[in-house]
Amino acid sequence: MSRQIIIGGNWKHSMTEADTVEFCEEMKPLIEQKPTSVKLIIAAPDLCIHILERYFGKDDRIEISVQHFDIGVSPTTGARTGATTLNQIEKSESNIQWVIIGHSEVREYSHIDNRYINQQLLELQESKSGIRPILCIGEDFDIREQGTEVLKDYLKKQLTEGLADISAEFMKKIVIAYEPIWAIGKKTDGSAKESATSDQAQESCNIIRSIIIELYNQELADGITIQYGGSMKAKNAEELLSQTDIDGGLIGGASKEAQSLIDITKAAS
Ligand code: 13P
């Protein structure tokens, strides 16, 4: 079955509004080079979304994502300083079509767990807003060191708890990003981490697909897009993306430059 190939840029906190203008100016002529078979999403910081909207909001070659929202806050609940709600995202004047759910950095720094992530997905399922989640899962180095069976159990727990009461119909809208924490970002000395090898990434994405078969069914699992994330860049993208169960990438550092992001979309086609 042919699956949708999706490349996502996750800018995290690193881009300012001025950086976003610069990126968009660089991207304007380059977007022509994006293969039509590859969907491109950019998850920008909330403050930068309006700039992406200004440049690409009416252009379906780039779809806009936020990186998180807070659960349990509605226009009628008590005041919650600092929160961003699904209601605000839905009613945004920007055409926000995606949200990253459960990124490992949000899990760690905002202390959210699988239950919280499940509540986010349930809110999205109930909202019928059409906003699609990119659900991030992945293990730290301790788990990886304990071997494949422990890894399987860990990914299964993240998926089973995160997807509790998620219908098959809504599941078809979810993209899963497999992001091993040990491969994301930089080491403490500032040097780049190594990506997972293509074999490691393929093995994990295959495990994820087989868990989806158990939780749902073969047809659904065959159709779902599973991205790999963790030090993917133009240089290693082709090898990672040529694996049978890897249908895209979620890219941090290398997504901040328009040319490098476009090169990754080319490697994906
Ligand atoms: P890096 O590509 O910087 O390792 O980040 C990956 C990631 O966390 C994407 O969500």
Q: Give average pLDDT by consecutive 10-residue segment, the chain, 269 residues.
A: 92 97 98 98 98 96 98 82 94 97 96 97 95 98 96 98 98 98 92 93 98 98 98 97 98 98 97
pLDDT at 2 (0 to 100): 80
Asked if residues 213 and 221 have their Cβ atoms less than 8 Å apart, the reply is yes
CA of 77 to the centre of ligand 1 (A): 34
> Is there an atom of ligand 1 within 6 Å of 231 CB?
yes
Q: Please work out, in degrees rounded to the nearest 5, the angle formed at the alpha carbon of residue 104 by the alpha carbons of 101 and 108.
A: 110
Q: How far is CA 164 from CA 119, 159, 167, 183, 190, in A?
A: 9, 8, 9, 28, 38
Dihedral (C-alpha) 119, 170, 240, 140: value to the nearest 10 degrees? Answer: 20
CA of 78 relative to ligand 1 center, distance in Å: 34
pLDDT of residue 1: 58
User: What are 265's two structure tokens?
Assistant: 């979309």
> Ligand 1: distance of its center to the CA of 75 in Å?
33
Position in ligand 1 atom list of the atom nearest CA 230: 4
0.95 surpassed by pTM:
yes
Structural domain that includes position 264: 5-268
pLDDT for 73: 79
Closest Cα to residue 232, out of 199, 198, 209? 198
- Based on the structure, what is the number of domains in the chain? 1
Ligand 1 contact via 184 beta carbon (within 6 Å): yes
Alpha-carbon distance of 29 to 263, in angstroms, equals 14
b/e per residue 5-40 (b: at least 16 CB within 10 A): bbbbbbbbeebeeeebeebbeebeeebeebeeebbb
**Nearest CA among 163, 176, 235 for reference residue 3:** 176
Q: Hey, what are 235's tokens?
A: 């240089």
For 84, counting Cβ atoms within 10 Å of its Cβ (0-12 exposed, 13-18 middle, 19+ buried), the class is: middle
